[in-house]
Amino acid sequence: MKFTTKVVHSQLKGTEEIRSKTTPIYQTSAFSFTSLEELEGFYEGKSPYLYSRTGNPNTDELGKMVAELEGAPAGVATSSGLSAILVGILAVVQAGDHIVAAEDLYGGTFHMLKEELKSFGISTSFVDFTSEEEIEAALTPDTKLLYSETVTNPFMRVEDISRMVALAEKHNLKSMIDNTFATPFLRQPYLEGVDLVAHSATKYIGGHSDITAGVVVGKEELVQKAREKVVNIGSNLSPFEAWLTCRGAKTLALRVGTQAQNAGTLADELRSNEQVKRVYYPTDLSDKGNGAIVTIELDASCDISTFFKSLGWIKIIPSLAGVETTVSYPLGTSHRALPKEAQEKLGINTHVVRISLGIEDGGDIVSQFNEAIAASVKK
């Protein structure tokens, strides 16, 4: 071989004989075959991989891992949480169909359901999911899906999953829930009867703020349809990000356990702070903890800009769930695209702050928030 040929083909061979403790990163766009017969074998189901958009060992590992954690038979990884939600929805509904969704969803999901799905010919009604009567009143002959979040964003309402599942079964509908905030460590909606469960794996599954990924798990036939959407729409996840997400997921219980404990401590402390008008934190999510997000509404006596500037080592970011404690501003980030009337109805205003608890010392976290709140009081 000449140099220009050798430099292309001098690769490590026989990697299947190397027994790595962890799954190797299959950072490849495609897989090779030794013959046309072997290539045809892929289409006959004899070989699992052809092209990384249609499947890759790392993305498959992530889908199977989250499915196992949720107690579901199947799962598929996607490029983001929203893409996981999208392919899950498209596994159930098509043009002409209707969705009934909780009104207090993450802003990105609200926008996708309300606006983006219009181009697919799919309509959505948003209602108060605490009211069985409102849910049933919104149903039409075209309704195919009930959609909600295990813990809603940002006000931490815990969904009544048993009621949601019962309504879906009563009206021959499918049910789907976003379990990002709760994580399968605290709650497993599939085992409670939900058909499809989505995760923004960017958050607690990955856990280290260094990937963007999604996963949807559930019944085999629905996940297979979702997988087909991933392939045909092109919302697949890269092998390296899947590998990083699987690595992060191994410490899920350790991280979320500590984060939930810190969240409970902070919620208790802030309830007694005179400058905090409201604290939103559940008490009935699970016996392992009540989640790692605390949302607060500061009193009008506080200057919100000064509060954010006084947070010291606590970062301001438009996301959540890393090992560091962070804050976000729903009105200016996650829920800014909501119509003003929807923001007002939900209570998203200029003084609402969403706090994502990290794994730091709980006392340090409490002290930093008390200092920022005290500094923000208008003189």
Residue-level pLDDT at 222: 98
Q: What is the pLDDT confidence band of residue 379, given thresholds at 50, 70 and 90?
A: confident
pLDDT in tens, 66-84: 999 999 999 999 999 999 9
Q: What is the pLDDT of residues 242-291, one digit of tens each?
A: 999 999 999 999 999 999 999 999 999 999 999 999 999 999 999 999 99
Other CB atoms within 10 Å distance of the CB of residue 332:
13
Structure tokens at 49: 């991989």
Domains of the chain: which residue ranges? 23-249, 253-376
Work out the mean pLDDT of the chain and round it to a whole number.
94
Give the position of tokens 């149903």: 139
227-234, Cβ contacts within 8 angstroms, sequence gap of 24 or more = 227/76, 227/87, 229/86, 229/87, 229/90, 229/91, 230/76, 230/78, 230/83, 230/87, 231/53, 231/54, 233/86, 233/87, 234/53
List pLDDT tens digits, range 348-368: 999 999 999 999 999 999 999
According to the model, what pLDDT value does residue 4 have? 61
CA torsion sign for 342, 106, 284, 99 is positive
User: Is residue 297's pLDDT more than 60?
Assistant: yes
Tokens 């604290």, residue located: 279
Supply the pLDDT for residue 18.
77
SS3 78: strand
Check pLDDT > 60 for residue 7.
no
Task: Please say whether the structural domain 23-249 has been given the CATH code 3.40.640.10.
Answer: yes
Q: Name the superfamily (CATH) of residues 253-376.
A: Aspartate Aminotransferase, domain 1 (3.90.1150.10)
pTM for the model: 0.94
Q: Is the pLDDT of residue 97 over 90?
A: yes
DSSP 8-state assignment for residue 15: G
